[in-house]
Amino acid sequence: MKSDELFALLRRRGVFWPTAEIYGGAQGLFDYGPLGTALKRRIEEAWVAWFVGLSHDYFLIDPAEILPEAVVRASGHLENFTDPEVVCESCKAAFRADTVLEKVRPEGVDGLTSKEIEEIVRGRGVKCPHCGAVTLSVPPPFNLMFGLDYGVTGHERAYLRPETAQSSYLAFSRMWDVGRHALPLGIAIVGKAYRNEIAPRQLLFRMRSFEQAELQIFFDPDHFLLPFDRVADERLPVVRAARRLAGSEEVELVRAADLVSAGGLPEFYVYHLVHTFRYYRDVLKVLPERLRLLEKSDQERAFYNRIQFDLEVQLDSMGGFKEIGAVHYRGDYDLGRHGQGSGKDLSVTVTGGRSVLPHVLELTYGVDRSLWALADVHLGKDGDRTVWHLPSYLAPVPVGVFPLIPKEQAAYALALSDDLAAAGIPNVYDDAGTIGKRYARMDEAGTPFCVTVDAETLGEGPLHGTVTVRSRDSKAQERVPAPELPSRLTPSFRPPRPKRS
């Protein structure tokens, strides 16, 4: 589906809609409705099960989203978390420099100073995209953080965090004390980050308040043993940076072991790259041919990232491959900066008595983006039906419960709905319209199983009655004793987990 068409469907079904819609909306902000909220929660659970589940030494925490100024000064965000901006002196509109200069400078503006950008704008006579005047000017780069006047004196500054990662770096010291004093130590956060994007657009892809799921793995670069054998034969769809610089974006399927031996990447990096790839393929169930791991070049990476592959998914609604997540090897940059900023040495003493400033491997993931990707990839026409083929463990509503004839079986169906809820199976009760219409609503919502109570059920008695279980994908129907529903259905609602090291 096209982006507009998909959004219209998701909005109509209450998956998400613009914040403060009755006031005309707010750029870059969206509200999740019942289906979206449940889906997002399932995605979070699946991500945690998979990535925090990678090791007994990886933990989920939940820090505040507000950071004191000293933190973002140390991290470099106060100085560097900026986008070059172009403003029109006539109509006062503001734009991201890269979008305004898209045609005259397709390679982008990364690394250029405001002055250099201004020279291009003037030299090429670039017009304002809004009013057409040739009065564009280039102010100092625009910091994307939301600042807060914190406290009552008006002299304290704090910021909404621009990425969850910083909260993990701040927590490292306490987590070391709380834990077993050993590396690796993984700290995961699923939470909000905030960016005052100059041009929020593409719906869930550039939001001003968005949700990240990130795992920061703190490790000893001289000693990070992993069961690499288990992943050595996995073939990854990569686009190496060198190949890209030579002009090709063609995907190569490369064995994980070869990425290490011939490819020059460290084992610990490729190990986690494989698990990241598997998450998209085996958990989100994206077809491998829609996935690619795109290596970023020296010029493209943030300077502290030593290695970076973005995980991209091909999305018809977005016209091509879009980044959903990434794996960043950040070296010892983060703990080094916060050690300096806080005046507290963040080195730790590892087995053997060595002092180590831990390195960081960061696995990052956009929850909102992945929700959209799951709609793009799994929701669409299936014959004459519109079906959201979500994996069962991601379905916002796992089960629909219907009375075939509401007048006669409503009470039984309502009780069954309560029983399933009590057994840990969220479900919705629906008695409106024909069974066909109810199936259609559930298909669109991605509900994998619909349970129908009919006259036969009641005839068999409340403890033994069989119900019809209809499967979303095959449309097959089967009669199942109602008391067996929890044990029959529950296993399919559990997200996959990796084998732990």
Selected range binding a copy of itself among 240-248, 279-287, 353-361, 421-429, rule: CB under 8 A: 421-429
Contact between 282 and a copy of itself by CB under 8 A: the answer reads no
DSSP structure string for 117-183: HHHHHHHTTPPPTTT--S-EE--SPEE-S-EEEESSSS-EEEEE-SSTHHHHHHHHHHHHHHTTS-S
Q: Which two tokens stand for residue 485?
A: 């529903």
Whether 500 contacts 53, CB under 8 Å? yes
**Per CB under 8 A, does 243 bind a copy of itself?**
no
Q: How far apart are CA 459 and CA 482, in angstroms?
A: 13
The residues near 63 (Cβ < 8 Å, ≥ 6 apart) are 167, 168, 170, 171, 189, 191
Kindly indicate which of the ranges 291-299, 320-328, 337-345, 352-360 contains the residues binding a copy of itself, using the contact rule CB under 8 A.
337-345
Amino acid at 349: T
Type of residue at 148: L
Single residue of 178, 242, 245, 287 touching a copy of itself by CB under 8 A: 178
- Residue 399 beta carbon to a copy of itself: minimum distance, rounded to whole angstroms: 14
Residue 215: half-sphere exposure toward Cβ, Cα within 13 Å: 27
With contacts defined by CB under 8 A, name the span among 60-68, 296-304, 437-445, 463-471 that binds a copy of itself. Answer: 60-68
Closest separation in Å from C-beta 490 to a copy of itself? 8
| 410 counts as binding a copy of itself under rule CB under 8 A | no
224 binds a copy of itself (CB under 8 A): no
Region of 414 on the Ramachandran plot (φ > 0 left; ψ -120 to 50 alpha; else beta): alpha
Among residue numbers 12 through 31, which ones bind a copy of itself (CB under 8 A)? 12-14, 17, 19-23, 26-27, 29-31
CB of 156 to a copy of itself, least distance (A): 9
Stretch that binds a copy of itself, among 57-65, 108-116, 284-292, 452-460 (CB under 8 A): 57-65
Is 488 near a copy of itself (CB under 8 A)? no
Q: How far, in Å, CA of 76 to CA of 69, rounded?
A: 11
Span 139-168, contacts to a copy of itself by CB under 8 A:
142, 146-153, 158, 160, 167
Q: Is 437 in the site for a copy of itself (CB under 8 A)?
A: no
Q: How many residues bind a copy of itself (CB under 8 A)?
A: 86
Q: Give 309 or 393: the residue with its C-beta nearer to a copy of itself.
A: 393
Smallest distance from the beta carbon of 374 to a copy of itself, in angstroms? 16
Residue 120 and residue 107: Cα distance in Å, rounded?
13
What is the rounded CA–CA span in Å between residue 74 and residue 336?
Answer: 9
Q: Is 434 in the site for a copy of itself (CB under 8 A)?
A: no
Min dist CB 369 to a copy of itself, Å, is: 16
CA distance 21 to 24: 5
Question: Alpha-carbon distance 482 to 116, whole Å?
Answer: 71
The tokens describing 263, both together, are 């490819």
Which residues from 65-84 bind a copy of itself, rule CB under 8 A? 65-68, 70-71
Residue 361 lies near a copy of itself (rule: CB under 8 A): no
Q: Which is nearer to a copy of itself, 5 or 156 (CB)?
A: 156
Identify which range of 246-254, 257-265, 269-277, 341-349 contacts a copy of itself by CB under 8 A: 341-349
In the complex, the smallest distance separating the C-beta of residue 483 from a copy of itself, rounded to whole angstroms, is 14
Q: Find the part of the chain contacting a copy of itself (CB under 8 A) among 194-202, 222-230, 375-383, 469-477.
A: 194-202
Q: How far is the CB of 40 from a copy of itself (least distance, A)?
A: 7
Task: Find out whether 470 and 435 touch, Cβ atoms under 8 Å.
Answer: no
Beta-strand ranges (E) seen in 161-256 are 185-194, 209-219, 235-239, 252-255
Q: Are strands 30-32 and 66-68 parallel, antiparallel or unpaired?
A: unpaired
Residue among 59 and 257 whose Cβ is closer to a copy of itself: 59
